[in-house]
Amino acid sequence: MADAPWWRGAVIYQIYPRSFLDTNGDGVGDLPGIIERLDYVAGLGVDAIWIAPFFKSPMADFGYDIADYREVDPLFGTLADFDALLAKAHALGLKVMIDQVLSHTSAEHAWFRESRESRDNPRADWYVWADPKDDGTPPNNWLSLFGGPAWQWEPRRRQYYLHNFLAVQPDLNFHRREVRAAVLDNVRFWLDRGVDGLRLDAINFCFHDARLRDNPAKPAALRNGRSFRADNPYAFQYHLHNNTQPENLAFLEELRAQLDRYPGVAALGEISSEDSLATTAEYTRGHRLHMGYSFELLTDDFSAAYIRDTVRRLETVMTEGWPCWTISNHDVERVLTRWGGGRASATMANQLTAMVCSLRGSVCVYQGEELGLTEAELPYEALRDPYGIAFWPEFKGRDGCRTPMPWHDGEHAGFSSTAPWLPVPAEHRALAVSRQQADPDSALNGYRRFMHWRRGQPALRCGAIRLLDTPEPVLAFVRELDGERVLAAFNLSAHAVELAFPLPGPLQPLHGHGLVEGTLDGERLRLPAHGSLFARG
**pLDDT, tens only, 224-272:** 755 556 678 999 999 999 999 999 999 999 999 999 999 999 999 999 9
Please check whether residue 353 is in contact with residue 109, taking contact to mean a CB–CB distance below 8 angstroms: no
Region 375-384: mean pLDDT is: 95
Cα separation of 224 and 184, whole Å?
A: 36
Angle at 13 (CA atoms; ends 12, 19), nearest 5 degrees: 150
* Shared-domain flag, residues 330 and 233: yes
* Shared-domain flag, residues 441 and 507: no
Region 189-194: mean pLDDT is: 98
Confirm whether 128 is domain-assigned.
no
* Shared-domain flag, residues 414 and 276: yes
Annotation says 270 is catalytic:
yes
Q: Decide: helix, strand or coil at residue 13.
A: strand
The last residue of one of the domains, among 401, 425, 454, is 454
- Which pLDDT belongs to residue 501? 80
Confirm whether 126 is domain-assigned.
no
Please check whether residue 395 is in contact with residue 405, taking contact to mean a CB–CB distance below 8 angstroms: no
pLDDT-derived band at 505 (thresholds 50, 70, 90) equals: confident
* Shared-domain flag, residues 188 and 289: yes
Give 500 or 325, the one with higher predicted confidence. 325
- Which pLDDT belongs to residue 2? 64
Q: pLDDT (tens digit, 9 = 90+) per residue, 112-124?
A: 999 999 999 999 9
Beta bridge partners of 382: none
Please check the confidence at residue 1 and state whether its pLDDT lies above 70: no
Confirm whether 144 is domain-assigned.
no
Strand ranges (DSSP E) for 83-206? Answer: 95-100, 129-130, 151-154, 159-162, 197-200
Confirm whether 135 is domain-assigned.
no
pLDDT-derived band at 506 (thresholds 50, 70, 90) equals: confident
**Average pLDDT score over the chain:** 96
Q: What is the CATH number of the domain that holds 532?
A: 2.60.40.1180
Choice among 18-32, 381-395, 429-443 with the minimum mean pLDDT: 381-395
Q: What is the total count of domains within the chain?
A: 2
* Shared-domain flag, residues 247 and 331: yes
Confirm whether 530 is domain-assigned.
yes
Residue among 61, 81, 171, 201 flagged as catalytic:
201
The last residue of one of the domains, among 422, 454, 486, is 454
Residue among 270, 333, 375, 399 flagged as catalytic:
270
Confirm whether 130 is domain-assigned.
no
- Which pLDDT belongs to residue 230? 62
* Top mean-pLDDT range of 57-71, 217-231, 489-503: 57-71
Region 291-304: mean pLDDT is: 95
Phi, psi of 210 (to 5 degrees): -65, -20
DSSP state of 425: P
The fraction of the chain above a pLDDT of 90, given in percent, is 92
Beta bridge partners of 478: 466, 487
* Shared-domain flag, residues 301 and 345: yes
- Which pLDDT belongs to residue 333? 95
- Which pLDDT belongs to residue 335? 97
* Residue 527 structural domain: 463-536
* Shared-domain flag, residues 192 and 277: yes
Q: pLDDT (tens digit, 9 = 90+) per residue, 350-370?
A: 999 999 999 999 999 999 999
Confirm whether 159 is domain-assigned.
no
- Which pLDDT belongs to residue 59? 98
* Shared-domain flag, residues 428 and 516: no
* Shared-domain flag, residues 425 and 352: yes
Q: What is the CATH number of the domain that holds 338?
A: 3.20.20.80
Please check the confidence at residue 156 and state whether its pLDDT lies above 80: yes
* Shared-domain flag, residues 509 and 388: no
- Which pLDDT belongs to residue 503? 75
The last residue of one of the domains, among 392, 419, 454, is 454
Residues 6 or more apart whose Cβ sits within 8 Å of residue 14: 49, 50, 52, 329, 330, 364, 365, 366, 367
* Shared-domain flag, residues 55 and 183: yes
Region 137-152: mean pLDDT is: 96
Please check the confidence at residue 316 and state whether its pLDDT lies above 70: yes
* Shared-domain flag, residues 435 and 487: no
Annotation says 260 is catalytic:
no
Please check the confidence at residue 342 and state whether its pLDDT lies above 80: no
Confirm whether 441 is domain-assigned.
yes
Region 482-507: mean pLDDT is: 91
